[in-house]
Amino acid sequence: MSLATTYSPTDVEAKWYQRWQEQGFFKASANPKKTPYTIVIPPPNVTGVLHMGHMLNNTIQDVLVRRARMQGKEACWVPGTDHASIATEAKVVALLKEQGINKLDIGREKFLEHAFEWKEKYGGIILEQLKQLGASCDWDRTRFTMEPELTQAVLRVFVDLYRKGLIYRGVRMVNWDPQGRTAISDEEVIAKDVQAKMYHLRYEVVSSQLSVDSSNVGPDNGQLTTDNYITVATSRPETIMADVAVAVNPNDPRFSHLAGAKVRIPLLGREIPVIFDEYVSMDFGTGALKVTPAHDINDYNLGLKHNLPVIDILNDDGSLNEKAVLYVGQDRFAARRNIVKDLEEAGLLAKVEEYASIVQTSERTKAVIEPKLSMQWFLKMEHMAKPALEVVENDTVKLHPAKFKNTYRVWMENVRDWCISRQLWWGQQIPAYYLPDGSFVVALTPDEALELAREQSGNASLQLNDLRQDEDVLDTWFSSWLWPISVFDGFKDPDNADINYFYPTNDLVTGPDILFFWVARMIMAGLEYRKEVPFKNVYLTGIVRDNQGRKMSKQLGNSPDPLDLIQQFGADGVRTGMLFSAPAGNDLLYDEKLVEQGRNFCNKLWNAFRLVKGWQVDSTLPFANDKPVAWFNARLQAAIAELDDHFEKFRISDALMTVYKLVWDDFCAQYLEMVKPAYQHPIDAETLRHTTTFLETLLKLLHPFMPFITEELWHALAERGPREYVTVAAWPKPSTVENSEALLAGMDKALAVVSGIRTVRNQKGLGPNKPLTLVAKTDEQTLFTEYEAIIRKLGSLSELSYAEAGPAGAVSFVQGSGEFFIPMEGHIDLAAERARVEKELEYAQGFRESVMKKLGNEKFAQNAKPEVLERERQKLADAEGKITALEQALKSL
């Protein structure tokens, strides 16, 4: 097999991926003779396309799966997609709108037809893109969270939890997304720092029993005004029409005279009571708080305590409804602008202040969230949270890195009931059926619901068309929390071969941002329905950020297209580039230089392979490289053990760096230079045999990280059988090398001397191949004699000798306890070199003197900051060290 002079990923990647699939290497089945290794993919949204976070996450999963496959395990990586209720429905609604179709006009059934058509057309894009990355998923096992079997699993769980008394229906304050027109969970809310405005509004006191103390008031001081007003501060003036009270602290003397008083809502004029409650902070805002139970959770709780009415003035889309009386039909933010203008004109706006605030937004639509009282379905979480916390605390499930245990603990100890209903059509429709009298039954099928409804109502004549199924669908996470079980049909058949073999899975790779609302919930579901945790390890990746520390996103325009990167640098280059600086749990600061480095690594490997394949062998030559071979074997075995340790501890980035240094530094830069024959000379057969064996082992170690180029070189290295691929080759196991420590230590010293020689060459402008002589003054002459051939070859030396003192006219360097001299006569102009060193020495001495004068200045020493004094002392120490080195260099010359 001939190799091109340069590596071209586009010529290699599609070819090998197709062959891997044709050979069925990625397929997995229950096999009692092998140890299972299972990963379930965090299902990307069906609306998604590959982004940098996917690249990192799926590269790590593929590295783990490919290594497990090479270890002889039955490696199963289950792919799939999530139906993403909010995002998908928004896309389909927008698509229909472009066609002049309104979702409500066509009805639920027709809308779902359009949604499934959209899913079939666009839903598999990201999975096809993952193939370009090299993801070795068992594609025959691809699942979708809304396919019939997985939908049945979701409904079964809903019915079961309802019958256990863990699911209930009630009116609660929820996070409402006015753009998606649905409730969302706390975990789907993103807090954003913003500059906001605080509006100080005047509420007229209309029935105070006491007179106003005008000496304690002022027009803008946040207290009562001389015109008998109380000033209330709010960031949301458009909600004043939903006010039902103004609250003050009973211990606040500014408002003690308002017992039993009422005030008028500005502009609207409706009278509302003044209430007293210690919940109100006396030193925040004006000390007076408007109470709007329908639009704030704290106000809602205050309203319950004081038995206040609830007035909801917002429609589902965030516009004002008839209960607002004013600005009806206007969007909430338009209403805000208009009411501020009207308040100012009416003299009811005391002042406006800018302040730093936090706005809650929807993760999916980016809309500002509205707290909203709504009838929803909830799942009690306390029942399942306690055991799910225990298994993480005792490391039954290990988090990598372990620092996330604290985050997990805080979440789980403060868990709240999960709002599981969504006001959408795309998703699993809640299996609750309402009777004509408003009561309901929960059942898996309509027929079962009818039977329960007849029994519950005592009305045997009820028909199916008398029942109405709940319009809402379940939260998307209510399907994905079952993922590790449902993908193996563990709810359909709890004792099937796949679920018994592949569950629990081994490792989960995901982001810390979904640690609670996906990882924790999967643990809960696993313990509830399999009495086992769903996975043993959770590897938490960081966020991919740009070099300014910003999260990469298309909106910011700071994220490259992953497919463009693969086209430009090759999948292997991108994979290694992403992993070079991606330690678990820490964010990756992406720089294109990383993927350039990955591509360069591919080229280095390619060229090293071509070098070895280009050698001519002479079987009559004796084995001439026993020392380099023994050393590299020791280095290789140590690296394999180190690599396995990194994998065991989920240090994937460190694992890559171990192989990278082994290949680039030890094999290419050192070993090959030690053993390669002189130009146009043959190599002995034994050295070539060892080198080829080393190269084959390196390809195995590199394969999980760089699958494509390693497969290409694997087949170019030797004739292979029809199923002899590196992707299923045996993972190397470290073996014991006799005298390993001495071999490694001895070679380290020899290579340090070579490094010193090369430094002198660079400093003196001597070419890499110009023959030099080296004189060593060392107590380790025996050791250096043992490695003399390597030092002479790598250092391009014509002679290596030993002496008690260095010769005149030589440049020296120190390595360890030895001093090494390179005579310069004939290589450089000694007189010119002496003049250069003398000039540099004179400058260094002058600089030292100036620093000494500065430090000797009593005024400077007394007034200078400690860090400035320390900096000057360091300058002095550096100057003295340089002077010593220059004096020694001058002496040798």
Instruction: Give a three-class secondary structure readout of 688-740.
Output: HHHHHHHHHHHHHHHCCCCHHHHHHHHHHHCCCCCCCCHHHCCCCCCCCCCCH
Number of structural domains (the chain) is 4
- Residue 238 belongs to some domain of the structure: yes
- Same domain? 771 vs 819: yes
Place of tokens 């004549």: 461
pLDDT of residue 373: 86
At residue 632's C-alpha, the angle toward residues 629 and 637, to 5°, is: 125
> Does 96 reside within a domain?
no
Cα–chain center distance at 99? 38
CATH number of the domain at 846, please: 1.10.287
In this structure, are 220 and 346 located in the same domain?
Answer: yes
Residue 401: is the preceding peptide bond cis (ω within 30°)? yes
Q: How many CA atoms are closer than 13 Å to the CA of 841, on its beta-carbon side? A: 15
Residue 314 domain boundaries = 182-370
Does 685 share its domain with 815?
no
235/353 Cα distance (integer angstroms) = 10
Residues 720 and 787 in one domain: no
pLDDT at 221: 38
Whether the bond between 504 and the residue before it is cis, its omega within 30 degrees of 0, is yes
629, part of any domain? yes
CB 818 within 8 A of CB 782: no
Q: What is the pLDDT of residue 585?
A: 60
Last residue of a domain, one of 698, 713, 738: 738
Which residue, of 694, 713, 738, is where some domain finishes?
738
What is the rounded distance in angstroms from the CA atom of residue 483 to the CA atom of residue 489?
10
Does residue 732 sit in the same domain as residue 760? no
Shared domain for 335 and 231, answered yes or no, is: yes
Kind of pairing between the strands at 810-815 and 818-823: antiparallel
Spell out the residues 6+ positions from residue 692 whose beta carbon is closer than 8 angstroms to its own.
612, 717, 718
Strand 271-276 relative to strand 245-248: parallel, antiparallel, unpaired? parallel
CA distance 111 to 107: 6
Question: What's the token pair of residue 707?
Answer: 């699958």
- Binding positions: 554
Cα 340 from Cα 236, distance rounded (Å): 10
Same domain, 348 and 272: yes
Beta bridge partners of 232: 201
Per-residue pLDDT, 219: 36
Domain boundary among 708, 738, 768: 738
Residues of the chain with pLDDT under 70: 1-2, 187, 208-227, 553-556, 584-585, 828-829, 892-893
Residue 583 and residue 708 in one domain: yes
Are β-strands 398-400 and 537-540 bridged in parallel, bridged antiparallel, or unpaired?
parallel
Binding-site positions for ATP read 554
For residue 553, the model assigns a pLDDT of: 67
Torsion angle defined by CA atoms of residues 91, 94, 95 and 96, in that order, rounded to the nearest 10 degrees: 120
Cβ distance 217 to 226 under 8 Å?
Answer: yes
* R_g of the chain, CA atoms, integer Å: 37
For position 1, what pLDDT does the model report?
Answer: 57
Amino acid sitting at position 820: F
**Residue 32 maps to a domain:** no
Q: Cβ(433)–Cβ(446) under 8 Å? A: yes
Residue 492 burial (C-beta neighbours within 10 Å; 0-12, 13-18, 19+) = middle
Q: Are residues 701 and 776 in the same domain?
A: no
pLDDT tens sequence across 89-127:
988 999 999 999 999 999 999 999 999 999 998 888 899
Question: Within this chain, do residues 196 and 290 fall inside the same structural domain, yes or no?
Answer: yes
Strand 143-144 to strand 349-362: parallel, antiparallel, or no bridges (unpaired)?
A: unpaired
Question: Domain holding 752: CATH number?
Answer: 3.30.2320.20
854 and 841: one domain?
yes
Is 472 among the domain residues? no
**Cα–Cα distance measured from residue 51 to residue 445, given in angstroms and rounded to the nearest whole number:** 40
> Which domain CATH number covers 278?
3.90.740.10
- Same domain, residue pair 600 and 734: yes
